[in-house]
């Protein structure tokens, strides 16, 4: 996980003041509630405060939006995972199967919830677009529409959320043949609800994206290699 660096201001002045005032109110109200939900709210408020104080919105950045009068780098729209911005996760696993099989499985995004625990569903709209819904960190549901922006059969798939989604994210998965199967490498960059601070709060509740992606890749390997995901849910205990 790394924090945005060299970020440029992309939030207009009036919007910055609204962020500061609104963020401060949310933080104060959230902390006063002294509950899990309140903490999350305080996290969101903190993120808003930070956005207002610095004038940098990582979500705007990812989407190539600026309300500060000039646009961000046009190149950002072309890459699936802009380097060094927002929350960035990179994980890999080696799966004992040919790239063609893994690519075909992954390319049907509706397969993803079978091993991605936090995904509630993915609905494929057409050959490029799909609808995603997560269970979300700390119980907050998130939903977005994604489009495939890059694909090389049997090698890589890159996608990004479409402007107007409530969680902005971009990701790519790469399949490379190796001696013991196929190396599957996932790069993910996203701006969680509540920004970097929100993510830090989510981590407090055990929602660490780094860990999550690693576990999901492990389950992907289990599913492909054995045909099932190991579980003990539903087994007897003496409790």
Partner 1 sequence: MKAACFWGKGEVRVVDAPDPEIINPHDAIVRVTLTAICGSDLHLYDGYIPTMMKGDILGHEFMGEVVEVGPDVKNLKAGDRVIVPKNEMYSLCDNTNQNAWMTEALYGHSGAGLFGYSHLYGGYAGGQAQYVRVPFADVGPLKIPNGIPDEKVLFLTDIFPTGFMAADNCDIKDGDTVAIWGCGPVGQFAIKSAFMLGAGRVIAIDRFPERLRLAQESGAEIVNYDEVDDVYDTLQEMTGGLGPDACIDAVGMEAHGSTLDAWYDRAKQTMRRS
Position 143 contacts partner 1 (CB under 8 A): no
Least Å distance between CB 184 and partner 1?
Answer: 15
Burial of 130 (0-12, 13-18, 19+ CB in 10 A): buried
Closest CA to 127 of 153, 101, 102, 91: 153
Residue 237 in contact with partner 1, rule: CB under 8 A: yes
Q: Give the nearest distance from C-beta 236 to partner 1 in angstroms.
A: 4
230 touches partner 1 by CB under 8 A: yes
Only one of the segments 67-75, 81-89, 173-181, 221-229 lies at the binding site for partner 1 (rule: CB under 8 A); that segment is 221-229
221 contacts partner 1 (rule: CB under 8 A): yes
Question: CA–CA separation, 82 vs 76, rounded Å?
Answer: 6
H or E segment to which residue 176 belongs: strand 168-178
For helices 13-33 and 36-54, angle between their N-to-C axes, nearest 10 degrees: 160
> Distance (Å, rounded) from C-alpha 31 to C-alpha 46?
11
* Contacts with partner 1, 175-214, as mask; x by CB under 8 A: ------------------------------------x--x
226 binds partner 1 (CB under 8 A): yes
| 239 binds partner 1 per the rule CB under 8 A | yes
Q: Which residues bind partner 1 (CB under 8 A)?
A: 211, 214-215, 218, 221-222, 225-239
């Amino acid at each position: 996980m790394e924090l945005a660096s060299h970020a440029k201001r992309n939030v207009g002045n009036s919007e910055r003041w609204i962020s500061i005032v609104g963020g401060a109110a949310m933080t104060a109200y959230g902390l006063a509630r002294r509950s899990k939900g309140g903490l999350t709210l305080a996290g969101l408020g903190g993120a808003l405060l930070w956005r207002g104080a610095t004038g940098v919105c990582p979500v705007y950045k990812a989407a190539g939006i600026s309300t500060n009068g000039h646009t961000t780098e046009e190149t950002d729209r072309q890459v699936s995972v802009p380097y060094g911005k927002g929350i960035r996760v990179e994980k890999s696993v080696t799966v004992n199967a040919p790239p063609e099989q893994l690519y075909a499985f992954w390319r049907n995004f509706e397969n993803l919830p079978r091993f991605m625990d936090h995904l509630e569903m993915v609905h494929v709209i057409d050959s490029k677009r799909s609808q995603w819904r997560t269970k979300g960190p700390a119980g907050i549901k998130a939903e977005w529409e994604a489009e495939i922006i890059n694909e090389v059969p049997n090698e890589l798939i890159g996608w990004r959320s479409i402007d107007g989604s409530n969680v902005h994210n971009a990701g790519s998965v790469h399949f490379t043949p190796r001696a013991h199967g196929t190396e599957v490498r996932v790069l993910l960059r996203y701006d969680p609800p509540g920004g970097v601070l929100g993510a830090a709060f989510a981590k407090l509740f055990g929602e660490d994206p780094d860990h999550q992606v690693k576990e999901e890749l492990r389950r992907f390997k289990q599913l492909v290699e054995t045909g099932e995901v190991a579980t003990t849910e539903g087994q007897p205990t003496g409790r």
